[in-house]
Amino acid sequence: MTDATTRPPTAAVNDLSIGVLMLDTHFRRLPGDIGNGRTWRFPVQFRVVRGADPAAIVHGRPEEFLQPFIAAAQDLIACGVRGITTSCGFLALLQKELCAALPVPVATSSLLQAPLIEAMLPAGQQVGILTFAAEALSAQHLAAVGVRPDTPIAGLPPDTLFRSVYGNRGGVSDFAELEREAVAAAQALVHRHPNVGAILCECTNLPPHSAAIAAATGRPVFDIIGFVEWFGHAISPPGFR
């Protein structure tokens, strides 16, 4: 006979597939962004890691926030989520550490898709990475999630509205201007590297513009939203009977 002291713990919320570890940001998140609840076709749960703002993670030392990220993930798992992702592709640096610390699958970064994408491309083509800040995306980030070191990379220029808004430095989320800048950066990537056969968006703020990027470049575009939908599908597969 079980009693209150021997019963296994139960989740606080049921039927949650994915928990999202959020950076500490203050900008508006558009539909299609990982942090907008309207983006998702299944229930997700969010936790903000206080102090982990874009400057600290993109240009700083994300490993200094490992324990707060672990604690936030554990809280999400206690609520019932069965997989963890994050709101910043630069957290690829913590992929192995979070997997080692947590009892559920972890997908820190869209960059994890790169080897799979390259396996699907025609001979002679490569995946190209479109990132928030090319100067900050290092060989260590790529190695942490198995991305080839010679992978072409392009970023948003530092003086763009995109970098200002999503870097938490202010500015109005003007969708048309943000999309123009994202498309221009993608076009520059394929212009410099014509052998890029697919574009992989590192930044979780880029998915609202994935359709426009695909239309402008003629390449398939992979992003965090499609990745997490695939991840969530595996955690809670649909029934067909």
Residues of the chain falling short of pLDDT 50: 1-8
User: How confident is the model over 4-18, as pLDDT tens digits?
Assistant: 444 445 677 777 899
Say if residue 127 is in the same domain as residue 84: no
Say if residue 80 is in the same domain as residue 99: yes
> What's the pLDDT at 12?
72
Residue 35 lies in a domain: yes
In terms of residue numbers, what domain contains 163?
110-223
> What's the pLDDT at 170?
86
> What's the pLDDT at 7?
43
User: How far apart (Å, rounded) are the C-alpha atoms in residues 188 and 183?
Assistant: 9
Number of domains in the chain: 2
Say if residue 58 is in the same domain as residue 159: no
Residue 2 lies in a domain: no
User: How far apart (Å, rounded) are the C-alpha atoms in residues 23 and 65?
Assistant: 11
> What's the pLDDT at 10?
64
User: How confident is the model over 34-51, as pLDDT tens digits?
Assistant: 999 999 999 899 999 999
Say if residue 119 is in the same domain as residue 181: yes
Residue 7 lies in a domain: no
User: How far apart (Å, rounded) are the C-alpha atoms in residues 221 and 212?
Assistant: 10
User: How far apart (Å, rounded) are the C-alpha atoms in residues 137 and 203?
Assistant: 11
Return the CATH number at 180.
Answer: 3.40.50.1860
Say if residue 100 is in the same domain as residue 164: no
Contact yes or no for 166/107 (Cβ under 8 A):
no
Residue 104 lies in a domain: yes
> What's the pLDDT at 9?
53
